[in-house]
């Protein structure tokens, strides 16, 4: 049976997911280019064109499956290739490139938060009483954008390969320990997927989200917008 609600959610939320993961990956590529590695630029990955970053599973299948299950959509893009050997700063280059993605999402979320505050101010002043419902719907949608980008940032900052947090951690590690983490990455990716898929049994990620991510996101949302989730 045709589900018009699901189709509507796909048309609304998938573009938001795509743009959010696009700015994340483009930021990695831009930071790497500025640090001396032109790989991403040569491959055309320093762009806000989502088509350059699409991943068939992470950009489409995963968010659609989540929406179909009545869950908030989440996704990922093709990782931007970075030749870390070409970075000018071999100690902090890893950390700078790694942090660029989460920083882009946080910056975008904060910009959206400021817009939400402006729209909420407009509603309270009664300047556009005939558009209150429309503006309220816009605030709801923008709140989702804020939430999604903050989750993308915080999740990627977990210091576990291949997430960005492991790259940030590299700046504080010796060359020997970096090599150990590099070798671990081929295994920790599957461990990460396993933990996500079995969260209903282990509760590890649910605990992280409920105890750390949501309180942090709610605090920043309130500071920026003056509203509560």
* Catalytically active residues, by annotation: 25
DSSP the chain: ---HHHHHHHHHHHHHHHHHHHHHHHHHHHHHHHTT--HHHHTT-SSS-GGGT--IIIIIIHHHHHHHTT-------PPPP--GGG-S-TTTHHHHHHHHHHHHHHHHHHHHHHHHHHHHHHHHHTTTGGGHHHHHHHHHHHHHHHHHHHHHHHHHTSSSTTSHHHHHHHTTS-HHHHHHHHHHHHHHHHHHHHHHHTHHHH-HHHHHIIIIIHHHHHHHHHHHHS---
CB contact at 8 A, 81 and 45:
yes
Matching residue, tokens 């991943």: 55
Nearest in space to 120 (alpha carbons), one of 94, 151, 145, 143:
143
Place of tokens 């959610």: 9
**And the tokens for 59?**
């950009």
């Amino acid at each position: 049976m045709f589900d018009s609600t699901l189709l509507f959610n796909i048309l609304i939320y998938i573009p938001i997911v795509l743009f959010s993961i696009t700015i994340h990956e483009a930021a990695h590529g831009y930071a790497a280019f500025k640090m001396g590695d032109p790989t991403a630029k040569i491959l055309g990955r320093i762009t806000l064109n989502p088509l350059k970053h699409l991943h068939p599973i992470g950009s489409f299948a995963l968010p659609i499956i989540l929406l179909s299950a009545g869950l908030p959509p989440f996704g990922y893009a093709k990782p931007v290739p970075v030749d870390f050997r070409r970075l000018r700063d071999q100690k902090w280059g890893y950390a700078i490139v790694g942090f660029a993605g989460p920083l882009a999402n946080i910056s975008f979320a904060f910009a959206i938060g400021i817009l939400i505050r402006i729209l909420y101010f407009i509603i309270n002043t009664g300047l556009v009483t005939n558009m209150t419902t429309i503006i309220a719907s816009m605030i709801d949608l923008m709140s989702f954008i804020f939430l999604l980008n903050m989750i993308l940032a915080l999740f990627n900052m977990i210091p576990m390969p291949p997430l960005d947090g492991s790259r940030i951690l590299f700046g504080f590690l010796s060359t020997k320990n970096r090599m150990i983490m590099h070798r671990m990455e081929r295994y920790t990716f599957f461990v990460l997927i396993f933990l996500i898929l079995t969260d209903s049994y282990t509760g590890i990620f649910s605990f992280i989200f409920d105890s750390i991510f949501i309180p942090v996101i709610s605090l920043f949302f309130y500071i920026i917008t003056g509203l509560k989730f």
